[in-house]
Structure 1
């Protein structure tokens, strides 16, 4: 057993230890999440070809797009609770190999039923990745540093958008007809199989905990352990450690309400972005891919700035709500920009900045109230609720588009859902709410830790 008693380390030594952790963990976790978002969102680009080839309706596309999140939601909590037992390495190996194969298999669908089944299986395979990584980070990173780590990991969403658009556009335009396969078929194969191979790499690179990491010295393990323990303060007594007890906690359901808006509204961006851009008059596949990368390029920088501000000020609530409302406004204004490419791209950029900017602060909040198995199950439940919202939203939007012949009303749906989530969180965590008292204790400690680092 590692001896965690050490001489008091200086701030520079502590910072250096966590930088080492960041360089070891974050790149491989980011790569996994980049591939996950490419494989869940590339259907938005493949849609531009397979809708005509397979004679699918917009309602069929929307239902299949949403079924990913239904499969994700059904298996989210069991996957994350199992991770707490068997560790991150084995869990991520299983997740990545399965989803990579499911994504590649979409290349061979010929009927709506194939599309539905494979999208559901893709979601079921990926279930547990995101909440599992959030839970994994709680075993390595203290709360005062976690928003930046979380935002850095979640910048993978923006990076996937930067990479996926040009790559998908190039495959659609350049590989069409190669070896008798359509461009959309090559898209699923080329973007799906690397995920399965990366899962094997992840298994050998990660360590399940600081205590099992061979690349850390005994002193570095002790520093990490001491930092985690030092922030297990008075607020720790108010945190739930048991998942059953967490289910009786009102705070969990407030975060679930925010998750519905954030995940459902954010998931709509990659699903419909290529369709929206094509509706403005951009038709060439590579041009669509290049233009689709612009919102993500801006968002990747904004996301880190918002997370740093959240950690510096020790504040989560407004740093999550304001960007979410900004994204909601973008959705509501977007119908007015159809036919105007640069206006649409500008609004899509605002929306993407808002969505991704909210992710770091918001996904740090569950660990303020939950720990142990409650954190594993609670985070999974929050993402499950968001996944259910992300199932119904595109299903409804696809149906409305088929019935009305226009995407306009669907865009309003996404805006309303995101605004709902932000309002629920703001009202539920108001200064008079029961959540606030606990949050203020934790955020006070976050501010104190941030101030100590600034003074060093």
Structure 2
């Protein structure tokens, strides 16, 4: 009798992963709205310090990626994320209570440290539950927490700041992570073998499929050998340049829009949400066709190139035509987000389980450095040049480099996969 893969994995795990990662993005990205409100005036924050605060999260985010991934792969992703939820929710709430810039600097850095292990731990968790022909879509549902959250967060944060001020915005948006930690603990299992809601045949079918996929992958002894891999090194640089564009955009889009004529914080919130609608559509489309074709590269570099061209178009137009420039920013935002699912499906198909999690963490940590650079340099360019043209050009160049490195780094366009076990419906 032919075994089937349990469809229940999708509705039992994916919504929980999505909500968890959504809360992470809520508590890292709402700082952009605080910076665009009266926070700077209330705390006497200079433009240079504001750029530093916006980027410090990513510096903290850089340091504990690999240790977090190692713990998640060899101990428990479930336990790691549980404590991360409680700690980052507390730090995000504390942002609304500070009256000292130095304390705010510490909080932003520590928020990055606490959240640093979440992304690799989540990717490792999903790789234990979903097969090669499912993985791009599973990753996309996880990372969809980024644009989907920024979409509604942009609107909500604008209203909250307008109604109760920036302090209460941080407090009200930080507390849900602490509450959700206990739902996470109740609902998630590290591996299928621990899940009481799967039957024994379903557990065996999934284990056999995942094991079969490992047979065609060349063994790698340890992290040191994996980190010296040409593909891992190139994808680390690729993701760093990509992240410069993404987080320069995420952190400073509210300020860019707020600077337009006759713009208030509520309108800023609504307009800031628009690029993420396109991002969601792009992410679903790219992940679906990536899993259908198993051609990961073809669904990464073209989107990054489109993003680069859109940023360059905004630079060429200049500040005289806000609405045309804004349309190009919408296109850039959507294009930058579309390839996430296919991109994070590449490494588990090239490296064995014992090192794949660490390799993804290394790549993600380099992305954190790119995010730090993007958030800081874009803010610096905006404040020093008193316009946004230089930052658009900077982000365009970064995305162009990322697209070119993708073409060189991932030479194979398709990866072979064992005959899949039928999925139950």
* TM-score of the pair, normalised by structure 1: 0.88
Contact 2:252-2:379 within 8 A present in 1 as well = no
How big is each residue's C-alpha offset from its partner over 1:48-69, in whole Å with a ceiling of 9 and x where there is no partner? Answer: 2212222322221111111101
* 2:163 paired residue number: 174
* Equivalent position of 1:122 in the other structure: 111
Given that 1:280 and 1:339 are in contact with CA atoms closer than 8 Å, whether structure 2 keeps it comes out as: no
Q: Is the 8 A contact 2:277 2:334 kept in 1?
A: no
> Unpaired segments of 5 or more residues in structure 1?
1-6, 176-182, 430-435
Asked if 1:329 corresponds to 2:329, the answer is: no
207 and 158 in structure 1: CA distance in 2 versus 1, 3 angstrom threshold: same
More helix by share: 1
Aligned-partner Cα distance in 2 for 1:280–1:399 = 19
Cα 1:150/1:44, change in 2 over 3 Å: same
Post-superposition offset of 1:279: 2.2
Q: Which range moves more in the overlay, 325-334 or 59-68?
A: 325-334
Residue number in structure 2 paired with 1:224: 206
In the alignment, which residue of structure 1 is the partner of 2:374?
Answer: 393
Cα gap change, 1:333/1:241 in structure 2, threshold over 3 Å: closer, same or farther?
Answer: farther
Distance 1:303 1:428 in 2: 22
Within a 5 Å distance, the mapping from 1:387-426 to structure 2 comes to 387-426=368-407
User: Tell me, what secondary structure is at the counterpart of 1:108?
Assistant: coil
Which residue in the other structure is 1:98 paired with?
Answer: 87
For 1:20, the equivalent position in structure 2 comes to: 8
Number of matched pairs: 422
Indicate conservation of the 8 Å contact 2:301/2:407, yes or no. yes
> Superposition pairs for residues 17-416 of structure 1, below 5 Å?
17=6, 19-49=7-37, 50-175=39-164, 183-234=165-216, 236=217, 238-240=218-220, 242-281=222-261, 283-335=263-315, 336=317, 338-416=319-397
Alpha carbons of structure 1 residues 72 and 444: separation in structure 2 relative to 1, 3 Å: closer
Q: CA deviation at 1:198?
A: 0.9
Please provide the CA RMSD for this pair. Answer: 2.0
User: Structure 2: which 5+ residue stretches go unaligned?
Assistant: none
Q: Is contact 1:262-1:418 (8 Å) kept?
A: yes
1:55-102 CA distances to partner (integer Å, 9 max, x unpaired)?
A: 322221111111101100011111111112321210111111111111
Q: For residues 380 and 267 of structure 2, what CA distance do their matches in structure 1 show?
A: 28
- Bigger Cα displacement from structure 2, 109-118 vs 355-364: 109-118
Structure 1 moving runs of 4+ over 4 Å: none
Aligned to 1:178: none
Structure 2 CA distance for partners of 1:101 and 1:170, relative to 1, 3 Å = same
- SS at the partner of 1:95? helix
Equivalent in the alignment of 1:445: 416
**Alpha-carbon spacing, 1:202–1:403, altered in 2? closer, same or farther (3 Å):** same
Q: CA-to-partner distance for each residue in 1:408-446, whole Å, 9 max, x for gaps?
A: 2122212211211221121233xxxxxx3xx45xx3424
Using structure 2 for the length normalisation, give the TM-score: 0.94
